[in-house]
């Protein structure tokens, strides 16, 4: 059999022979192998990209639906609610019915009977421990957590698990890979996402009916009233509370300037607040304790905060979580070579530090859960008796003796206007309140080096 070609008639046999000889050539084998490999690689790349696009689209759809379900107001009018829309689903995909009655002022919303049963079962151990009335106070509270990193995320997580159903998170920062060693809920998928958004998304999976307001923001005095007031939450899910103020504020900020502004604002307005001191460069869990800011010791951040607050008229009345572990085992993290030329370019904000202390992930968790425990007991009005700090009175007695010796050497006087308890506060800050003539003045009794345990330079 022949086939007509431009060169004349050619038999199939000759064509087959030419093809066979061409394919048997080593170069042809290499070409065909490369072509096949390229085709397989191309198909694999295109398939992977298509799968990633589909996965990303599904994730975006879930986030949009979740955001819509979370942010829509539950009560639009007296007769129409988003919870009784046909086909409407909550954040977990489950349909829910409208509440049987409206919530009372300053209280948590009345949940559907089935959801309320689930909520009570979640809190059954707390109800057994704190009592019905104590848990009701917790569920009716509104708590603000400022700073949602290693300390704040753990505090927020345990507050939610313990029954706090109205929460506001304030933080400007994003989840990073290096923060996953200490963040309570963040995963690799959350890297690059604002911390407050990641925290809210995970916590809504634990308590779907919780009202969580996530603010990607920095605490500022000129916006303090807006950031701490519960008006926004009231307008969405709750009727106005009696005062509009938060039941408690948790300060988990690691920037000293912002921390001082928040603590001064809360103190002046009598807002209950508890503050976290330095968890960085600490490792001993047995040294973590809670006390008044005036009773702190050994913590550099607590010392700076205490002295700065005294300058603006705040001497006590602020509870803090801190560690009595002496610092110095580790130092600041060194900058990379790429950061040495323009280090401020790598600061989170212009006024924030560039070099940071290394953090052992378990210590921020202990700080955060200690804060949550303290706040829960305060909200529930559950009686506790804090353990007196061991040997504190003996320490004050020794400080008083040292002050008398220093007074005699410096001013040639043996009598000083101090008792044992005040000596602890004034001596830690290195101030002498009176001169030899009795006139009120502030004079340094010790240098910063002496406050760290080194000899003073006179």
Same domain, 266 and 316: yes
Among candidate residues 350, 380, 410, the one where a domain is terminated: 380
Q: Write the DSSP string, 219-287.
A: --GGGHHHHH-SHHHHHHTSPPPSS-S-SEEEE----HHHHHHHHHHHHHTT--EEEE---TT---GGG
What is the structure's pLDDT at 405?
86
Domain carrying residue 425: 392-451
What is the structure's pLDDT at 61?
61
Same domain, 324 and 354: yes
Through-space distance between the first and last CA atoms of the chain, rounded to whole angstroms: 116
CA 377 to chain centre: 20
Split into its structural domains, the chain has a count of 2
- Give domain status of residue 51, yes or no: no
Asked if 162 and 376 count as a contact pair (C-beta separation under 8 A), the reply is yes
Rama region for 214: left / alpha / beta (φ>0; ψ in -120 to 50; rest): beta
Does the global pTM surpass 0.85? Answer: no
Same domain, 408 and 373: no
How far apart (Å, rounded) are the C-alpha atoms in residues 228 and 274? Answer: 14
Same domain, 184 and 257: yes
- Give domain status of residue 269, yes or no: yes
Same domain, 262 and 325: yes
What is the structure's pLDDT at 382?
95
Q: Over the chain (458 residues), what is each successive 10-residue block's mean pLDDT?
A: 54 64 70 82 86 76 54 34 34 34 49 92 96 96 96 98 96 94 95 96 96 94 88 50 79 94 96 93 90 90 94 95 83 53 47 64 95 98 76 74 84 69 51 42 40 40
Same domain, 376 and 408: no
Same domain, 318 and 412: no
Same domain, 291 and 407: no
Same domain, 279 and 246: yes
- Using CB atoms within 10 Å of the CB of residue 217, give its burial: 0 to 12 exposed, 13 to 18 middle, 19+ buried: middle
What is the structure's pLDDT at 193?
96
Same domain, 280 and 152: yes
What is the structure's pLDDT at 36?
83
- CATH number for the domain including 149? 3.40.50.720
- Give domain status of residue 15, yes or no: no
- Using CB atoms within 10 Å of the CB of residue 302, give its burial: 0 to 12 exposed, 13 to 18 middle, 19+ buried: buried
Considering only CA atoms, give the Rg of the chain.
32
What is the structure's pLDDT at 60?
66
Same domain, 345 and 420: no
CA 360 to chain centre: 15
How far apart (Å, rounded) are the C-alpha atoms in residues 413 and 404? Answer: 8
- Give domain status of residue 42, yes or no: no
What is the structure's pLDDT at 91?
36
- Give domain status of residue 89, yes or no: no
Asked if 91 and 70 count as a contact pair (C-beta separation under 8 A), the reply is yes
Same domain, 278 and 220: yes
């Amino acid at each position: 059999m022949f086939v007509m070609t431009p060169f004349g008639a050619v038999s199939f046999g000759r064509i087959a022979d030419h093809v066979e000889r061409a394919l048997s050539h080593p170069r042809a084998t290499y070409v065909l192998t490369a072509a096949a490999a390229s085709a397989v690689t191309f198909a694999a790349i295109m398939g992977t990209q298509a799968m990633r696009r589909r996965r990303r689209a599904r994730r975006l759809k879930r986030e949009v639906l979740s955001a819509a379900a979370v942010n829509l107001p539950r009560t639009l009018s007296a007769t129409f609610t988003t919870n009784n829309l046909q086909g409407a689903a909550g954040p977990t995909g489950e349909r829910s019915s409208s509440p049987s009655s409206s919530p009372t002022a300053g209280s948590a919303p009345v949940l559907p009977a089935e959801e309320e049963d689930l909520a009570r079962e979640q809190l059954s151990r707390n109800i057994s421990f704190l009592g019905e009335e104590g848990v009701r106070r917790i569920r009716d509270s509104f708590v603000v957590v400022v700073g949602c990193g290693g300390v704040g995320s753990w505090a927020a997580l345990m507050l939610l698990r313990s029954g706090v159903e109205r929460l506001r998170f304030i933080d400007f920062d994003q989840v990073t890979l290096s923060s996953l060693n200490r963040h309570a809920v963040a995963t690799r998928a959350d890297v690059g996402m604002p911390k407050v958004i990641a925290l809210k998304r995970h916590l809504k999976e634990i308590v779907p009916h919780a009202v969580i307001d996530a603010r990607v923001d920095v605490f500022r005095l000129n916006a303090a009233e807006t950031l701490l007031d519960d008006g926004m939450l009231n307008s969405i899910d709750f009727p106005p509370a009696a005062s509009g103020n938060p039941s408690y504020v948790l300060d988990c900020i690691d920037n000293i300037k912002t921390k001082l502004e928040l603590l001064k604002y809360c103190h002046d307005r009598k807002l209950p607040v508890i503050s976290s001191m330095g968890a960085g460069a600490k490792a001993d869990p047995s040294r973590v304790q809670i006390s008044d800011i005036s009773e702190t010791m050994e913590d550099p951040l607590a010392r700076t905060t205490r002295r700065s607050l005294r300058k603006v008229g705040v001497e006590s009345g602020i509870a803090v979580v801190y560690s009595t572990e002496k610092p110095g085992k580790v130092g600041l993290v060194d900058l990379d070579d790429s950061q040495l030329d323009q280090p401020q370019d790598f600061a989170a904000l212009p006024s924030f530090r560039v070099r940071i202390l290394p953090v052992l992930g378990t210590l921020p968790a202990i700080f955060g859960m200690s804060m949550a425990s303290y706040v829960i007991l305060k909200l529930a009005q559950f009686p506790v008796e804090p353990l007196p700090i061991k040997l504190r009175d003996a320490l004050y007695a020794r400080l008083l003796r040292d002050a008398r010796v220093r007074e005699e050497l410096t001013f040639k006087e043996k009598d000083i206007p101090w008792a044992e308890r005040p000596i602890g506060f004034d001596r830690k800050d290195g101030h002498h309140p009176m001169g030899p003539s009795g006139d009120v003045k502030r004079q340094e009794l010790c240098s910063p080096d002496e406050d760290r345990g080194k000899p003073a330079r006179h």
